[in-house]
């Protein structure tokens, strides 16, 4: 324990009492996400309930030169939560209040610990919903910080598009609001976008103002099987190029379908599959589904199973939302490793074919899935963390997929963020001058490097 840490812990214990924990189990929980990255426990965890309490913690950590790592729901995948230099984990999960929701303005303001499912439960009676769905029941603060998206992004965009304003605690404990609630503004630098995707390296997001959408009059879902993954991706590309406003369009390869059938007790046809969801009026949804059915038939579709009943739609989407756990659960004691490349839609077929070829000699279970409507796809690997040869093989495969994506003007991460896992690839994706600018921004805002150190910048 450093000489600066003990006085800091005493100050925090006096202020927070039982909401400060130095328990090893609690610290370990807060030093890891859901993926393969090693646990790096913080020195202590503080449960906060307001912006003022976050500012208090950050201010005292800044004075002591002790790192601060924000924690939401613990669902991150790229080592974002690892306390690589120790420090204080600021747990925002008790900041779980919806502060206001306006049906007239179709926006809301929430504390950072509110989860997407809790927000939608709160909004349901007002005829509104929040569309960004990364699969996990992530906290909205975490979703802002990683610039998350997910299954609905092809129609509704990502956290970048739906975030109107943020309340942020800066590295010195000062509190700022990044923008007003206006739907557009030309006033000054776009501070909101500076913090969307900053992964807690520039400050801690404590409150978020978000765009909302009306619950569609009609929703229809469909599953469609194909003879091979290339046909499925080509069909998805054509649907995108036709401009059909699908809400969701997800690829699941046959390996994933087999895994989710076993994991969730389903009986879906074991084939490379596209899952669609259509939002709109009754007539609009019917028209979208009919046009998509025609398109997929041209690419050899083996069936087009549609459903409008909520329970049936839930059954169809259960496969996609169980993907991570279905794959990892195939091996006892396994952990997950997921790629996250995103490429121009025109390059998607070639990149997925390349990924499939790389998996031919993969020593661990691996499946391909993705938000093919916007060019984002994943390979989920189930690895034994005690077998370094498996880690090395998956690392090599992942590196080759990233190299291919960047070569076709894509990115190493479409939605999971950089954290520690993707940091080495930024040197491939950005020119040195761009990385120097990022480093200069970090230095200007956080000169002591106490905000989630070791993340994003290589």
Instruction: Report how far residue 214's alpha carbon sits from residue 270's, in angstroms, rounded to the nearest whole number.
Output: 35
The radius of gyration computed from the CA coordinates of the chain, to the nearest angstrom, equals: 22
Q: Which of 140 and 325 is assigned the larger pLDDT?
A: 140
Q: Which region among 295-299, 302-306, 403-407, 416-420 has the lowest average model confidence (pLDDT)? A: 302-306
Tell me the C-alpha to C-alpha distance, in Å, between residue 2 and each of 62, 65, 66.
15, 11, 9
pTM for the model: 0.95
pLDDT tens sequence across 116-142 = 999 999 999 999 999 999 988 999 999
- The torsion angles phi and psi of 363, rounded to 5 degrees, stand at -80, 0
The long-range contacts involving 267-272, CB below 8 angstroms and separated by at least 24 positions, are: 268/223, 268/319, 269/225, 269/302, 269/303, 271/225, 271/226, 271/227, 271/302, 272/225, 272/226, 272/227, 272/228, 272/229, 272/231, 272/232
Calpha distance 116→310 (Å, rounded)? 19
Q: Give the mean model confidence (pLDDT) for residues 151-161.
A: 94
CA angle in degrees (0–180, nearest 5) for 64-177-204:
40
Q: What is the pLDDT of residues 161-178, one digit of tens each?
A: 999 999 999 999 999 999
For residue 85, pLDDT over 70 is answered with yes
Question: Is residue 264 very low, low, confident or very high in pLDDT (cuts 50, 70, 90)?
Answer: confident
* Contact between residue 369 and residue 252 where contact means Cβ atoms under 8 Å apart: yes
What mean pLDDT comes out for the span 26-35?
96
Q: Token match 């930024």: residue?
A: 426
| 149, pLDDT greater than 80 | yes
Element of type H or E holding 379: strand 376-383
Residue 275 reports pLDDT greater than 60: yes
The DSSP line for 161-227 is HHEEEEEEE-TTS-EEE---S-S---SSS-HHHHHTT-TTSS-EEEEEEEE-EEPPSEEEEEEEEES
Round to whole Å and give the CA distance between 41 and 39: 6
Please give the average per-residue pLDDT across 64-85, as a whole number. 97
Between CA 358 and CA 94 the distance in angstroms is 43
Least confident of 225-234, 297-306, 447-456: 297-306
- What value does the mean pLDDT take over residues 272-283? 94
Quote the DSSP letter at residue 372. Answer: G
Sort 308 into a burial class: Cβ within 10 Å, 0-12 / 13-18 / 19+: middle
pLDDT tens column, 354-401: 999 999 999 999 999 999 999 999 999 999 999 999 999 999 999 999
Average pLDDT over residues 339-367: 95
337: its two tokens: 């490793």
pLDDT tens for 180-211 read 999 999 999 999 999 999 999 999 999 999 99
**Among 21-25, 223-227, 296-300, 316-320, whose mean pLDDT is lowest?**
316-320
Look at residue 1 in the predicted model and tell me its pLDDT: 53
Is it the case that residue 53 has pLDDT exceeding 70?
A: yes
């Amino acid at each position: 324990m450093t000489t600066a840490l003990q006085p800091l812990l005493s100050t925090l214990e006096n202020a927070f009492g039982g909401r400060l924990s130095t328990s090893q189990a609690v610290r370990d929980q807060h030093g890891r996400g859901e993926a393969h990255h090693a646990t790096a426990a913080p020195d202590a965890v503080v449960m906060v309930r307001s912006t003022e309490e976050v500012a208090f913690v950050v201010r005292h950590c800044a004075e002591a030169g002790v790192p601060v790592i924000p924690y939401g729901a613990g669902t991150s995948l790229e080592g974002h939560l690892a306390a690589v230099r120790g420090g204080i984990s600021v747990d925002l999960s008790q900041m779980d209040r919806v502060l206001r929701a306006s049906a007239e303005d179709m926006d809301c303001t929430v504390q950072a610990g509110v989860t997407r499912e809790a927000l939608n439960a709160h909004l349901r009676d007002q005829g509104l919903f929040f569309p960004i769905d990364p699969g996990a029941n992530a906290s909205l603060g975490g979703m802002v910080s990683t610039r998350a998206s997910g299954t609905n992004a092809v129609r509704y965009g990502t956290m970048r598009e739906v975030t109107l304003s943020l309340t942020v605690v800066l590295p010195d404990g000062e509190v700022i609001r990044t923008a007003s609630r206006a739907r557009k503004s030309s006033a000054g630098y776009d501070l909101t976008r500076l913090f969307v995707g900053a992964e807690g390296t520039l400050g801690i997001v404590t409150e978020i103002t978000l765009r909302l959408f009306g619950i569609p009059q009609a929703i229809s879902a469909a599953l469609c099987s194909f003879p091979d993954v290339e046909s499925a991706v080509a069909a998805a590309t054509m649907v995108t190029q036709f401009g059909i406003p699908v809400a969701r369009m997800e690829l699941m390869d046959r390996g994933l379908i087999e895994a989710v059938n076993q994991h969730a007790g389903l009986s879906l046809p074991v084939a490379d599959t596209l899952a669609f969801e259509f939002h709109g009026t009754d007539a609009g949804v019917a028209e979208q589904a009919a046009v998509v059915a025609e398109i997929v038939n041209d690419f050899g579709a083996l069936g087009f199973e549609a459903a409008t009943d909520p329970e049936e739609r839930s059954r169809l989407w259960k496969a996609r939302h169980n993907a991570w756990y279905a794959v990892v659960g195939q091996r006892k004691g396994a952990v997950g490793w997921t790629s996250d490349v995103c490429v121009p839609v025109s390059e998607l077929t070639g990149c997925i074919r390349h990924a499939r070829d790389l998996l031919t000699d993969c020593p661990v279970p691996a499946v391909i899935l993705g938000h093919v409507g916007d060019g984002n796809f994943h390979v989920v690997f189930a690895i034994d963390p005690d077998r370094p040869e498996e880690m090395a093989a998956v690392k090599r495969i992942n590196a080759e997929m990233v190299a291919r994506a960047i070569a076709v003007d894509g990115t190493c991460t479409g939605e999971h963020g950089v954290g520690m896992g993707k940091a080495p690839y930024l040197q491939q994706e950005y020119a040195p001058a761009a990385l120097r600018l990022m480093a200069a921004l970090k230095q200007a805002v956080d000169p002591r490097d106490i905000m989630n150190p070791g993340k994003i910048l290589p």
